[in-house]
Amino acid sequence: MASSLKKVMCANRGEIAIRVFRAATELKLRTVAIYSHEDRVHLHRYKADEAYQVGDGLSPVGAYLSIDEVMRVATEADVDAIHPGYGFLAENAELSRACAEAGIAFVGPSPEVLRALGDKTAARDLARGAGVPLVPGTDGPVETVAEARAFIEEVGYPVIVKAAMGGGGRGMRVVRAPEELDEAFARARSEAEAAFGDGTMFLERFVEKPRHVEVQILADAAGEVIHLFERDCSVQRRHQKVVEMAPAFRLDMKLREALWADAVKLARAVGYVNAGTVEFLIDPEGRHYFIEVNPRIQVEHTVTEQVTGVDLVQAQLLIAGGATFADLDLSQDSIDTRGIAIQCRVTTEDPEKGFTPDTGRIEVFRSGAGMGIRLDGGSGYAGARVSPDYDSLLVKVTARGLTFDATVDKLKRALAEFRVRGVSTNISFLMNVLEHPSFLAGDVDTSFVDTYPELVEARPRRNRAQRLLRFLADVAVNGPDVPGMSEVAPSRVAPMAPAFPKDAPVPSGWRDVLVAEGPEVFAQKVRAHRGLLLTDTTFRDAHQSALMTRVRTDDLVAVAPATARLLPDLFSLEMWGGATFDVALRFLRECPWERLERLRELVPNVPFQMLLRGANAVGYTGYPDNVVFAFVKAAKERGIDVFRIFDSLNYVENLFLGIDAVGEAGGVIEASICYTGDVSDPSRTKYSLGYYVDLAGQLVERGVHVLNIKDMAGLLKPHAATMLVTALRDAFPELPIHVHTHDTGGVGVASMLAVAEADADVVDVALPSVAGLTSQPTMAAVVESLRGGDRDTGVPADAILALDGYWEAARRVYAPFETGMTGYAPDLYNHEIPGGQYTNLQFQARALGLEGRWPAIKRAYAVANRILGDLIKVTPSSKVVGDLAQFMVQNDLAEEDVLAGAETLSFPTSVVDFLAGRLGQPLGGFPEPFRTQVLRGREPVTGRPGAVLPSLDLDALRSALEEEHPSTQIRDVDVLSAALYPDVFRAYREHRTLYGDVSMLPTRVFLSPLEVGEEIAVDIERGKTLIIVLTAVSEIDETGHRTVFFELNGQPRQVRVRDAAATDVLPELERATSEPGSVGAPMPGTVVSVAVDVGDEVAEGEGLVVLSAMKMETVVAAPVGGVVARVAVAVGDVLAAGDLLAELTTA
């Protein structure tokens, strides 16, 4: 029917305002919105025909609570009706009275009815008079805590303190003990005053574990009252409904009928007009109690509309215009229900943090839809800013189906389709509710959420696309965050792996022998093989030595299938361990374990080899023995076959630990003798031929499968190589010998040919484009030099050529990490810097501002080595020498200065730890008196460092990691990563939480910004590809941020990034730290009160600051006892989560 009204204003905001405007538009009414200054760009303003600001100079909430302002706009806009929505002034009798005096229809009850029902104490009197059962409560308003105590003395605990003039869960606190009353009363009153403008309170006996069921009523001006059945609103948190359904599930029909009758009886008794809700509690025995009447439309009215087909908001407007039920063609008999409807309130709250409201800009918003789904929202769109000043409701999702189970399935499907980024939501909590067995069985009461704390546990949210956009935006604004990059730009030409038929089988290889017959037989067959076998180091040591270990997993994965097919006869592919583990986590932001797992799947036929630093695993220090054993076991289980074990001092006790760990895990034990000096020079007596043969003998006696000569610097000249391999072959004729070198001095190929002639079994080489100089000798030269002879490697030249084309292009992508070396190092035999350290030492020199003194650093390296006693130099002992060398150059110290100042100079930590025996015991002992002078009374370790370390409780570490990273599934390998590199792993996890798995990105855009207009494709999983285009980067704003604009799969996205170079911007508030006494804001909000001053002594749990967010108040308590050293906030401050509130000095 047509309405007598012509123009209606909604005195509200957000979702309910939009709902009213839609209903009015369908009735052909003109609509008027009001908005606060804070809401000036809010969506509800634009959904009305006209919109006017209210509350100039008032608070954000006060603007909507000002009757004078509402009536001013209503008069000026010439409206003939005001719909109050819910909340704010919806139950305010004075607004209804003002409307009546101005001749404006109020869409709701009369002022008299509002006074009677809006005051919860008066409503109780009416219910008592109508014979409706009541929960015991106070007879009238309670003004003081003393009055509250007097009531509690009569009825006992627990009680609930409630706002007399409000609803929606605000201004309510349950009190279970006397010591809780003062705080609960104060907080409830403060919330009520803020939300409703009235702090009047009353008390009721708190009914334990009730169901909350309400009856929807509708009454016309002719005195007719009908009900539209009931709704179950038992799923609540903080007394605020979260999930509602109509009709109530599994409720006895007699009880339903009693509820309907009592609701209608009470409405008639008070002379009710328009829509309202009569709310009841049902105790576990099935008795119902009246609690209140909400004389307004309810948030959850949607479920009633869905099952009855009655548009309640249109009915409100029509009744306010004078229509009767006869006009509306409504009667009790004509209304029935069909199916089940369930509504979920999607809010910007974090369930894992006690449902604390979140605020900020919505970066992404994608909602669910489809048959049987209804959405009612007010601020759900990309770019919307969620304010801390208002309700946290984002959108209401209502599903309707013919059965309860079908409705739940629809609702779950719709929620799963939602994508909201930029603010936290409760969607994960809602999904947990909908899947909980008790909910599905209808066994739900108001304590449901508190009874099952697992409901608030967040489901892992991948959020992959938006996190990657955040990373790309940060790179676009601030540049790449990968240390060691030069100004040279990465190549824009992506490397292309050799093609092969998709159905091409993977040829068998040496791993098939190992898997079938075990390490011992594998070693025997390697020894019996006449051709020289090769280990390809391209996947690890080659790029570690040539490109600072910066090659990413994505580029290895791309060429791995071709490598498996073109080089199936490799002895091994060295692809893990050493520095790659640390660098992957620290600089590439990748998980090294995932690298291993992905490559293992693609290369099933070639043995994988890793570099194990003995008792140091893949770290730079000693670890508890159980950590090393657990690490090796995990590496073996995930695909490592050959473990090259070394110790940076050739200290056999450290080597033995690695040998034992690999043996227990079932891997191939390749024990290393680290080579330095020159066995062909009679004057170099410390590291003689006899020393190396004796050392090898100790390793063989321990039990090894392969003996390795590890020449870290490329010092092994051809003649010396022949001598050493011949001596070892004579001593151990049945044991395979594997030789590793670097080509820094240019003799690498010649030396490898010499060891082949001397009957070594395996040598390390690299593909030509990443070979030579500080890397390994080139595979091509070794292969071709031996082709046709009895040591022929059998490697086809075209296989090398095909793979090298890929690596040639890949190396250009990594051009920013080139060493700058243009030729071989003639001074190698003076400084003896290992190839793997050479590039890193250059990077460190640049970082220290010593790049121009690189020749001096190389000379100082030799001097530092001499001061320290002429060491085996490989990680971590090489780091000790390098640190001392740079220390000397940075401070302009000569050898005599270092020796003279041993007792006073502040030496690098690595040097002190080495002299303290933290790496083990060097050949010939430590240099004295230098060692004693540097230690200055510190007690040194005299044996194996790990032997004195207690076992690490890995289970406890896992628990700590799960607590620190609650949204991450912590795997066994994550525990090991954290055990080896605790700070690095923490930073990696923080980066991954913020930016996602950046290993998916193409290398060039990982290392350099996208260009405007550039498009990239990112495969995030099989069958899912993101198409990303950078469209623009804004100018810097007053807060120091830039907005970066993208298209993601054709849809606009934007990310706001702080410009690290910005200086003239607004200061940021200080952030809390991880220290126990540093107290941060648990949520965004406004400071309502500060309860402490500097110097106050506080106990753990004592309130410090009260925050208000979205009209909910939270007391921030002291996490520890102590003395207040500093208060960082004042009343009125607007804070973000994590901003510093106070600092406590603890005992």
Nearest to 644 by CA among 697, 695, 574: 574
DSSP 1014-1056: -EEEEEEETTEEEEEEEEEEPPP-TTSEEEEEEEETTEEEEEE
Beta carbons of 559 and 598 less than 8 angstroms apart: no
Residue 463 CA to residue 708 CA, distance in Å, equals 46
971 Cα distance to chain centroid: 15
Residue 641 CA to residue 161 CA, distance in Å, equals 67
Residue 999 CA to residue 467 CA, distance in Å, equals 12
Residue 316 structure tokens? 């409100």
Rounded to the nearest 5°, which phi and psi values hold at 254? -65, -40
From residue 938, how far is each of 869, 909, 919, 988 by CA, in Å? 20, 13, 16, 34
Where do runs of H (alpha helix) occur along 666-739?
689-702, 718-731
Beta bridge partners of 1124: 1144
Residue 1031 CA to residue 287 CA, distance in Å, equals 63
From residue 199, how far is each of 186, 191, 283, 439 by CA, in Å? 10, 8, 29, 35
Residue type, 863: V
Count Cα neighbours of 62 within 13 Å in the Cβ-side half-sphere: 5
Please tell me which residue in 296, 467, 470, 550 is annotated as part of the active site: 296
- Using the 8-state DSSP alphabet, how is residue 1063 labeled? -
CA-CA-CA-CA torsion sign (164, 170, 176, 179): negative
Where do runs of H (alpha helix) occur along 891-995?
895-900, 909-915, 930-935, 954-964, 972-980, 982-995
Nearest to 29 by CA among 67, 72, 78, 96: 78
Residue 76 CA to residue 70 CA, distance in Å, equals 10
Residue for token digits 């008999």? 333
From residue 468, how far is each of 495, 659, 867, 995, 1027 by CA, in Å? 22, 42, 49, 5, 12
User: Which residues have C-beta within 8 Å of that of residue 798, sequence separation ≥ 6?
Assistant: none
> Kind and range of the H or E element at 1004?
helix 1003-1007
Where do runs of H (alpha helix) occur along 617-703?
625-637, 652-665, 689-702
What is the chain's alpha carbon radius of gyration, rounded to the nearest angstrom? 38
Residue 91 structure tokens? 């139950």
Active site residue 296: yes
User: Which residues have C-beta within 8 Å of that of residue 738, sequence separation ≥ 6?
Assistant: 535, 571, 644, 670, 706, 707, 708, 709, 760, 761, 762, 763, 764
DSSP 32-71: EEEE-GGGTT-HHHHTSSEEEE--TTS-HHHHHH-HHHHH
Nearest to 826 by CA among 932, 720, 714: 714
Residue for token digits 């949607």? 302
CA-CA-CA-CA torsion sign (1099, 1102, 1107, 1109): positive
Buried b (16+ CB within 10 A) or exposed e, 562-589: bbbbbbbbbbbbbbbbbbbbbbbbbbbb
Residues in the chain: 1147
Cite the active site residues.
296
